[in-house]
A and B are shown apart, each in its own frame.
Chain A
């Protein structure tokens, strides 16, 4: 197992000019992760980092178990195995521990676990530590509750021993351990060292939900106050003594490489220390950030574009459009789609276009590394710690256990930091290796680096033909999708691509809950030299839009109400039907819509959660519109923190509306046209509707909320505009429909 990087120069799969350097090959990754593919990943054992406290820098007597530290001052630190990029996971996991520990909320402290997949793996991913797919609470719900319950039992045992009383008579409440008969009591800190020395109980009984004090209640997020004070908690803020800052000139077209460069002007910039070539590009290393950026601007680089992607959006669009008319690989086939369409009373056809999208998290990428020749320490908002660790190790020619990853709070991600090739940390390792001597080095990305840097939500096109009978019932559906695979050629391929179908390309169309007979789904997977990546809600970013707008078109053609039409197609008692009814009721669906306003609905399941949204839109002159309100209903099983669920719905809706109203990445001759927030302008406050969230009460196991709020927003708005104007916008962003839609 430890020999997997015995040949660190092996770069199978790395002939990728955009990232260069080490990339874990599919084979290496499988060896490291055990080889069995399930869901995102895998089972088996990874080289462990040893005891968690070593990496956490924590005294052994404070470490009650891998997830709970109790310090002498009564602080209970909960080590989040997941990245918190704003979605509230650290808070959620802290809530689970506090609940079973019977802690006082104010003594809790959310912190991050070190990278150690032997203890902190995402059980939904197998033996890999990482965050994604809205799995954080779902895979941790029992684990963190048990960690809290075990810690409680160990504190009780320690107190019983110290006081010479039966453990059964010791109580814990609101952060105080007590024995009523003797009048003895103590805080957690006083018993922590003794508790840490105890053997954990072989089993614990978890609370009945009726006893919950924190779960299901709106507790105050402990990270909020520091975030109102500009606290230095991000990778941007991490600056060890003597750190040098690097900016990297990366290829202007994906796949281009450096033929030669002239650094003479860059080296004259005050503060520039050294310019060096690494596989990712040319790094300008300076005493601080500004001279690094200035020095990079002063470089003269001769790029070899012979292997670069030089097609632009125009060319790609033409290729995708041609494929829409050719049979693709079948991903779902029920009945006889073509026969049913041939016999249909009416066929509705729609062609849909979706652009590349940048994630553009608020914090541009930044990572600090310190490699002393033996150990490497990394500070960053790490979302796939295990992959980051492997890639850094592979690049530096050391073992994964020699790479310590310090996960810091991340300024957003939306998928961008969960990178199958860990190219951000990989670049840092390349730089540290090229530097050659122990030196803390930080790579700072500019916003332009981020917007132009690829790893986009891939562009897609869909073409759907759906038939109705004379009664207005759907009789057949033919659905073709064209786009890049996100995971083909990466370590994630074995787990996520089956029979040539990347599940992320079709999820939301494949396995949708509508009872549609004679359904055929086909996929064309195209190869484009633009690195793709999952973007908040992944396949559902496009599939929900297509399904939900097509259903609205069919309802209109059938002369049926959009909510009633959907309910008739959904299984009786389904959770989709539940959220759809709730959103419709709360939004006043069926009430008259005032003049100049319009209302639309959409419902979609993603990541195990069900979300319906009703959009109220004001229609202006010409194509103008404003989204006034979105009423959202969500069913995500047990609501661990209702207020955070509402926050994630609000944020997911805002993110979904951003790509609906104006965001797109386009290419000209392979070069990205957009550069910064002036040309890739995010949603702003004046674009944001009023949002109202309703949660379906549920005792089902909790499912994710980070992503599922995003998919219904764009189709609900498109459906509102269709209801108001009779105009169907099938291209995202909506601005690309103007003047041409009918």
Chain B
């Protein structure tokens, strides 16, 4: 059946079963490929999107649960925190394979929007749901601090 969902500020129609995870609706139905598939059980964060501004796991969010909620994906992520995070990721050369980084950046930008000067403990708490098998964690931590500094400046 058809569902109307709001993605990146636009109303979009998705013709799929009610239990279809938002992840697959975004990727397969709407052609938004930035959000990646890692586990399907909300255990790795590769599929992180914002639902009404909050980082959420799109792989376990059925499309019929969205209602009027606003979905934001990496494909349209913007703003001060997002720009600072992306630049810090380039400055510190964070990604290796890069596959998890859509989710990492969504999570990091959300953290900095809420907590402009996070401690290492804040970073670990906010980012521990996002797995990186290349273990770029060391640089993620440094890059979040770096982004916090540039946002301040």
Binding site for B on A (CB under 8 A): 85-88, 218, 220-221, 223-234, 236-237, 239, 245, 270-271, 288-291, 293-294, 360-364, 409-414, 446-448, 643-644, 647, 650-651, 653-655, 657-658, 676-678, 681-686, 688-691
Contact = CB atoms under 8 A, between A and B. Distances in A.
Interface of B: 16-17, 19-21, 24, 27-29, 33-41, 43-44, 46, 73-75, 85-86, 89-90, 93-102, 105, 123-125, 127-141
3 nearest A-B residue pairs (beta carbon): A654-B135, A230-B34, A86-B97
7 contacts: A227-B95, A236-B33, A289-B28, A409-B98, A644-B93, A676-B40, A677-B43
Nearest to A287: B28
B36 A363 contact: yes
A688 B135 contact: yes
A86 B96 contact: yes
Nearest to A238: B33
Given A290-B16, A411-B36, A647-B96, A227 B101 contact: yes
A293 B40 CA distance: 11
B134 A412 contact: yes
Nearest to B41: A676
Given A232-B34, A681-B43, A684-B131, 10 more contacts: A86-B95, A233-B98, A237-B33, A361-B97, A412-B97, A413-B97, A685-B127, A685-B141, A688-B138, A688-B141
A411 B98 contact: yes
Scoring B75, B95, B138, B139 by chain A CB atoms within 10 A of each residue's CB, the highest score goes to B138
B17 to A, nearest CB: 5
B93 A362 contact: no
B131 A225 contact: no
B50 to A, nearest CB: 13
A126 B90 CA distance: 37
Contacts of A650: 135-136, 138-139
A447 B41 contact: yes
Contacts of B86: 225, 228-229
Instruction: Tell me which of A410, A676, A684 has the highest count of chain B C-beta atoms within 10 A of its own C-beta.
Output: A684
Interface centre among B17, B21, B37, by most chain A C-beta atoms within 10 angstroms, is B37
A233 B102 CA distance: 12
A643 B93 contact: yes
B94 A224 contact: yes
A228 B90 contact: yes
A651 B136 contact: yes
A448 to B, nearest CB: 8
Contacts of B105: 228
A441 to B, nearest CB: 15
Nearest to A687: B137
B89 A228 contact: yes
A267 to B, nearest CB: 15
Contact of A362 (B90, B125, B132): B132
Contact of A288 (B28, B125, B132): B28
Contacts of A234: 36, 99
A643 B89 CA distance: 14
Given A362-B133, A655-B133, A224 B34 contact: no
A86 B124 contact: no
A346 B99 CA distance: 52
Contact of A360 (B19, B94, B133): B133
B28 A290 contact: yes
A228 B44 CA distance: 17
A233 B19 CA distance: 28
A655 B131 CA distance: 12
Nearest to B43: A677
A681 B27 CA distance: 26
B131 to A, nearest CB: 5
